Amino acid sequence: MSSEAGRLHESQQLGTRILEILRPTTWSEAVELYGASPNALPVAGATDLLLDLSRTPSPGGPGATLLDLWGLRDCSQITISETDVVVGCGVTHNQIISSPNLDSALDILRMACLEIGSPQLRNRATVVGNIVTASPANDTISALVALNAAVHIESVSGEREVPISEFFAGFRQTVLAPSELVRSIRIPRWNDQTVGTWFKVGNRTAQAISVVHAGIVLEFDDATSLITKADVAIGSVSETIGVSKSLSEYLVGKNLNAETSAGAARVVVGEISPIDDIRATAVYRTAVTETAVRRALVGLSEFAITQSQVAPLLGWVANRPTPPQPNLSTTTEVACTVNGSSVTAQIGNDSTLLEWLRANASTGTKEGCAEGECGACTVLLNGAAVTSCLVPTGQADGSSIVTVEGLAGASGLHPVQQGFLDEFAVQCGFCTPGFLVAAAALCEENDSPSADEIRAGLSGNLCRCTGYYSIVEALSDLATNRDVS
C-alpha cells in the first residue's frame, strides 16, 4: 500500500505514453531533427525504451516524442575494411549472430549476442542500444570493451569518437551530450596471433540477467608465444565495466598455462569490488568470477578457436520496409496487413503493437508480462518473430503481421497447431498463442530441429503450467514425421 492515503503506488501509476514519432529518412536528417528536438527519445529496436516508458510516469508533460532510427538503412549495416569492422546503430543482435565469418574479432561479440534475452528480443534489440542504456549487466559491453571498440558519435555540432572504455560515466550514464547520437561502433580487426573468448554466469539458461560476464582478448608474440597484450573486461559485478589493468600487467610477458590462469584469476578477485543485489551476493560474485576467469583462460591456453554457433533466428531478415508515412501522432491512422487482411486504425492510446492488435485485429495475441519476458504476445512482424508488447505501434505501419489466428490455412490447421493437439501440449492455454507463433517461425527456418534447437528457439516463451515436455515432444514429432515421409 502507498505510504500516503489517496496516492497511487508506483505499480498502479500509468507510464509515459507515446504522443509523437519523428521519422527521418536519412541519418543526416536524424541528426538535424535531434538537434531541433533535444527532448525527443532516440529509438531503434525499442526493447529497453518501451519498458522504461511503461515504468515511468510522464514527468510534467503529456507524453513522449520518439526519434525513430529503426528504418534507416545506412545505419543497419556491418561494414568491413582492412583494419576495422563497423557496426551501425541499427544492427540487431540476431544480425550479428547470423553473419558468421565477418572477422574473428566479432566471434566474442557473437557469443555475447547469443546470451541477450530471447530470439524475439534479438530480432529487435540493437548492439548500440545495449551500450547506450549503459547497464553494467548488459552482456555485449564487456565484449566490446575487451575488443577495444570505439563509439562514433555525431550531432549538429560535429562528430567525435570515444573509446568504449571511456563511454560510461557511471551506472546507466554515458558521456553523450544533449543532441548527440551514436552512429556506429568501430571494432579493430584481429591479427593472426590474437585469441579471445567471452563468458557469462546467470541464474538460468535463457532470459537471464548476468551475475557476472567478461570478455577476454589476448595477443601473443609469434616467436616466443608470450603474451604481449591482454584486455579483460568484467561486467555485472560493479556499477561500470572496465578493463582490468592489474590483470593485463600480470599476464603480459608470461606463457598462458594452467598456473598463469590460476594466478590471473586471483589477481581479478583482488581488483573487483563486487556488489550485493537480488541476483547474487558479493561473496558469490567473488567466488564465481575467480573460477570463471580461470576456466576461460585455461580454455584459451591451447589457442582454441571459438566455433561460430548457430542459433534459431525465428525469421530475422536484413530488409526493413520503408515507412509509408513521415511523422506520426496519436491521431494518425496506421495500416497493416494482419493475417492477410488490411487493417487501418488510429494509434490513439495504443502505444504498443500488442495494444493496437488487441483493440483492432487480434484478441488471440495475449499480454502476459508486458516486458518481453514471457513471449505470450509473440507475432510475426514482416516474417520475424517479435514480442509485440515492445514494438511501438508506429513502427509497424505498413507492415505484414501474422498472429495465432493467421497460422491455419484453407486446408486446415498449421502443422504446429496439429502437433500441439496430438501431444496435449496445451494446458491453461494462455501462453499457447505465443508458443505456436514462435514454433511456426522455428519450423519455417528449420524443418527438422533437434530437441536442443527447439528449446533454444522457444527460450523466449514461458509456460506458467510448466508444460514444456509436451511442447518439445510436439515439435520433435513433426521433425520425425518429416524424416519418415
pLDDT of residue 319: 74
Per-residue pLDDT of the chain (485 residues; tens, 9 = 90+): 444 555 665 555 678 899 999 999 999 999 999 999 999 999 999 999 998 998 887 655 678 999 999 988 889 999 999 999 999 999 999 999 998 777 888 899 999 999 999 999 999 999 999 999 999 999 999 999 999 999 999 999 999 999 999 999 999 999 999 999 999 999 999 999 999 999 999 998 888 999 999 999 999 999 999 999 999 999 999 888 878 888 999 999 999 999 999 999 999 988 888 989 999 999 999 999 999 999 999 999 876 555 556 689 999 877 777 888 889 999 999 999 999 999 999 999 999 999 999 999 989 999 999 999 999 999 999 999 999 999 999 999 999 999 999 999 989 999 999 999 999 999 899 999 999 999 999 999 999 999 999 999 999 999 989 889 999 999 998 866 665 44
Q: How far apart are the first and last CA of the chain?
A: 60
pLDDT of residue 13: 66
Q: Are 75 and 183 contacting, i.e. CB atoms less than 8 angstroms apart?
A: yes
Cβ burial, residue 6 (10 Å; 0-12/13-18/19+):
exposed
Considering the domain 18-71+320-402, what is its CATH architecture?
Roll (3.10)
pLDDT of residue 485: 46
Question: What class, spelled out in words, does domain 77-300 have in CATH?
Answer: alpha beta
Q: What are the extents of the domains in the chain?
A: 18-71+320-402, 77-300, 408-484
pLDDT of residue 59: 59
Instruction: Tell me how far apart the alpha carbons of residues 350 and 365 are, in angstroms, rounded to a whole number.
Output: 14
DSSP H or E run through 86:
strand 84-88
Same fold flag, 18-71+320-402 and 77-300: no
Residue 85 sits at φ, ψ, to 5 deg, of: -120, 125
Instruction: Tell me how far apart the alpha carbons of residues 99 and 110 are, in angstroms, rounded to a whole number.
Output: 9
Instruction: Tell me how far apart the alpha carbons of residues 207 and 326 are, in angstroms, rounded to a whole number.
Output: 35
Q: Which of 17, 15, 13 is nearest to 2 (CA)?
A: 13
C-alpha cell at position 324: 509509408
The answer to whether the Cα torsion of 271, 204, 187, 128 is positive or negative is negative
Q: Are 247 and 267 contacting, i.e. CB atoms less than 8 angstroms apart?
A: yes
pLDDT of residue 3: 47
pLDDT of residue 317: 79
C-alpha cell at position 40: 525527443
Q: Are 72 and 27 contacting, i.e. CB atoms less than 8 angstroms apart?
A: yes
What is 408-484's CATH number, 2.120.10.30, 1.10.150.120, 1.10.760.10, 3.30.420.40? 1.10.150.120
Query: In terms of DSSP H, where are the helices of 386-431?
Result: 415-422
Q: pTM of this prediction?
A: 0.93
DSSP sequence for 181-239: EEEEEEEEPP-TTEEEEEEEE-SSSSS---SEEEEEEEEE-TTT--EEEEEEEEESSSS
